[in-house]
Amino acid sequence: MLGFACTIKRIFNDYVEGKTARQIAADLNKEGVASPRGGLWNASTINGNRKRRNSILNNELYRGKIVYNRQSFLRDPETGKRRSRPNPQALWVTKHVPHLQIIEHEIWDKAHALKEKCASKCGNKRQTRKRILTGLVKCGCCGGSMTIIGRERYACSSRKEQGTCSNGTSIKAQDLEQRVFDGLQSILLGREDTVQAFADAFHGEVKRRQTNNASNKSAVQKDLLKVETSIKRCVDLLLHSNTPMESIRSTLEELETQKRALVQESALQTQVNKIVLHPNIGALYARKVSNLKSLLENDATKHPATEIIRSLIEKIAVAPTG
């Protein structure tokens, strides 16, 4: 059997025998086993996103199934980057490929029963919202990323995910953010040139978003129309055919979720367009900088201000003292 297939088998077996994804990743790293993309194993490579089914334990291919059309792509109105959005399960297409099967059904089912149990026990892991410093906070010991754990604290992710770092301290995200704002304010305040640069960058970012918005707006409206048409079709089907309610309900629920997201997106776009730039923006922001937080608390200025503040920071290293 190929080396990688052996590793997949082993991961499933270890998991079924009660090891956590974190322990399995740490073991594989200790033994120097290559990960799918090279580099180190993470707990999330093994146990990652259930909805998108892109981790080892969730990869249907290992039990001989290929699933197509699970997501569609859309341009993010804020960053302009392509972003994936999960498709309703009713649109997925499954093909059986028994010759590619690595994991026996029995082991697969056991592993997934365990996963379910853990998910309900640990409370369904909610997606943590992106914080202003996400991606910028680094571990002062190993240089790896610090990510949010538990109740919104930053901790070394190499330690958590790969078991390769000794930095066991964590810091409350809010406290870290406050320290960073205070630091930035003291750098920006009283320095006309810096404040002007900040104002120019802010101005530019708002303009860029407004331009971006115009083209994204029509895309969102088009998607919204498509979703609304699908909803209408589902309702028609319910009213005028004998299709059982149950088979349509989940599709309808997912469509409604998509619709809500699109309506929200469209509202956000309208807000960005409403930002009016102050003619004397330099003076205004000299005042505003004295309270960076007010820019971040206002829905209309939150996103551009976040981008600028993030662009001012290369990284924040967090290390234990003493």
Of 187, 259, 214, 191, nearest in space to 77 by CA: 214
In the complex, the smallest distance separating the C-beta of residue 9 from Zn ion, rounded to whole angstroms, is: 31
Contacts with Zn ion by CB under 5 A lie at 139, 141-142, 144, 156, 158, 165, 167
In the complex, the smallest distance separating the C-beta of residue 143 from Zn ion, rounded to whole angstroms, is: 7
Pick between residue 153 and residue 259 the one whose CB is nearest to Zn ion: 153
CB 305 within 8 A of CB 296: yes
> Which residues lie across from 225 on neighbouring strands?
none
Pick between residue 167 and residue 216 the one whose CB is nearest to Zn ion: 167
H or E element, residue 230: helix 192-240
Residues with Cβ within 8 Å of 264's Cβ and at least 6 positions away in sequence, in order, are none
Pick between residue 147 and residue 213 the one whose CB is nearest to Zn ion: 147
Which amino acid is present at 178? Q
Beta strands 153-156 and 146-149 are antiparallel
Which amino acid is present at 280? N
Q: List the structure tokens of 267.
A: 């509202």
Pick between residue 164 and residue 266 the one whose CB is nearest to Zn ion: 164
Pick between residue 77 and residue 144 the one whose CB is nearest to Zn ion: 144
In the complex, the smallest distance separating the C-beta of residue 127 from Zn ion, rounded to whole angstroms, is: 23
CA dist 80 and 213 (Å) reads 9
Which DSSP string do the residues of 188-223 spell out, in sequence order?
HTT-HHHHHHHHHHHHHHHHHHHHHHHHHHHHHHHH
In the complex, the smallest distance separating the C-beta of residue 142 from Zn ion, rounded to whole angstroms, is: 3
In the complex, the smallest distance separating the C-beta of residue 139 from Zn ion, rounded to whole angstroms, is: 3
In the complex, the smallest distance separating the C-beta of residue 156 from Zn ion, rounded to whole angstroms, is: 3
Pick between residue 167 and residue 230 the one whose CB is nearest to Zn ion: 167
CA dist 1 and 169 (Å) reads 42
CB 197 within 8 A of CB 285: no
In the complex, the smallest distance separating the C-beta of residue 319 from Zn ion, rounded to whole angstroms, is: 9
Pick between residue 144 and residue 304 the one whose CB is nearest to Zn ion: 144
H or E element, residue 224: helix 192-240
